[in-house]
Chains A and B, each alone.
Chain A
Amino acid sequence: MKLEGEQLLSADPQTVWAALFDRDVLAEAIPGCESLEQLSETEFTAVVKLKIGPVSARFKGAVTLSDIVPGQSCTLSGKGSGGVAGFAKGAAQVTLAPEADGTRLCYDADIAVGGKLASLGNRLIGATAQKLTDAFFTNFSDALAQPEEAGPT
């Protein structure tokens, strides 16, 4: 399914760009993130615990950054497996544009869910994806508001 949105962040584009590649900021922003390891400049592995109603599962997955146009746009792709509960994968194209007092971050994501999660939760995937995306950007925005975490990588 497709998910589009945008977020106005109070930091300038360079700071936002640096944060997108900052392990500490991402670990704080990803909802339910238990661990995040940086394998290279563009590759991460993550363990995420999700608890939403009758679903409580621990996902292990990989996050990769590609199509990098420094300071402007990149693609964030991730896939994760929650064991017998199912799997999720998705890619989001992220674009940054300068604004008067900050940065406009636009995302255009495509998310797929499979396994039992999909058969049981199809009716709720839209709402769940929206909730997690909102949580990510709220956390990301909060992390940016703390200046010591905005250093370049």
Chain B
Amino acid sequence: MKLPSFEYLRARSLAEAWALHSDAGGDAVYLSGGHSVVPSMALRLQAPSRLIDISQIAELHGVELQDQTLRIGAMTRHAEVLANPLIARHAPLLSRAAPHVAHPAIRNRGTIGGNLALADPASEFPAAVLAMRAELEVMGPEGQRMIAADDFFLDLYETALIPGEVLTAIHVPLPPEGRLFGFDEIARRRGDYAMVGVAAQADMSDGVVSDASVTLFSVGVAPTRATAAQDALEGAPLSSDSIARAQAALATDLDPPDDPGFPAERRLQLARVLLGRVLTRMEAVQ
């Protein structure tokens, strides 16, 4: 189906983007890679009167090391996330998540900023960003804000972004030596929406887990931090015992919805199985 008619405007700066957005009185959508907005318009699920192309704005581009963080520009495309050596070294959860994000043609256009701003509950990057305890750099007419990932994903497709604000970059804290990472998902076919997914990282000290960060996606309205599972891992060596305790703790952490043909209990069971796989692989690596 063809798109409903709309006005296309390319912003040359953030200030121009904000002005164009506020002009439209709430009926405008920012366009980065266009791989969620455009299909949903073609399906007539939404019909904004104005698309504001933010893809040429300089602040949104580039991947660079800063003092204590890796700054990943919001316009970084999924294919670049997959291939970038700085991301592979300092934000490996993103590199491992990227092959699961859709298909190569989509990865060539879709951007990490667009993905995070949409906040689909089955999407990989939001959970990876949450697991890495990254901060999201947001700029609006009122100025710049840094939002912790834990405070960014609020509800179903709801983020802490206020209308008009632009997500400009992701700041990933540089990991210490020896940090363990794990990522995997279960999908019906490669590239499909995940039925359940896990992103995890753990720091070891004197043979025990000193800090664990475990997040899941496609298990609720937003990416979810599994705090009870983290507590089960911390203070003990990574072993089949502690992994079993973390799996059992998921019943406390998760409350998945019943969907047609996919009962909550089955999703919880898949989450336990997948968490077991991911943590077992991390145990084997250390």
Contact = CB atoms under 8 A, between A and B. Distances in A.
Interface in A121-150: 122-128, 130-131
Nearest to B194: A123
Contacts of B262: 123
A54 B119 CA distance: 10
A125 B262 CA distance: 11
B156 A85 contact: no
A125 B48 CA distance: 23
Contacts of A122: 259-261
Interface stretch (B37-45, B54-62, B171-179, B225-233): B37-45
A120 B45 CA distance: 10
A127 B156 contact: yes
A57 B40 CA distance: 11
Contacts of A131: 155-156, 221
Contacts of B40: 54-55
B186 interface: no
B257 interface: yes
Given A53-B157, A54-B36, A55-B40, A125 B45 contact: no
Q: Pick the most buried of B48, B118, B156: most chain A CB atoms within 10 A of its CB.
A: B156
Interface of A is mostly: helix
A85 B44 contact: yes
B44 A128 contact: no
Interface residues of A, number: 23
B258 A54 contact: no
A69 interface: no
A83 interface: yes
Contacts of B121: 124, 127
Nearest to B264: A126
B44 A83 contact: yes
A43 B36 CA distance: 38
B193 A117 contact: no
Contacts of A2: 258
Nearest to A56: B46
A100 interface: no
Contact of B44 (A52, A53, A116): A116
Interface string B197-229: 000000000000000000000001100000000
25 contacts: A1-B259, A52-B157, A53-B118, A53-B119, A54-B36, A54-B37, A54-B39, A54-B118, A55-B40, A56-B45, A57-B45, A85-B43, A116-B44, A116-B45, A117-B45, A120-B43, A122-B260, A124-B121, A124-B259, A125-B259, A126-B257, A126-B259, A127-B220, A130-B221, A131-B221
Interface of A: 1-2, 52-57, 83-85, 116-117, 120, 122-128, 130-131
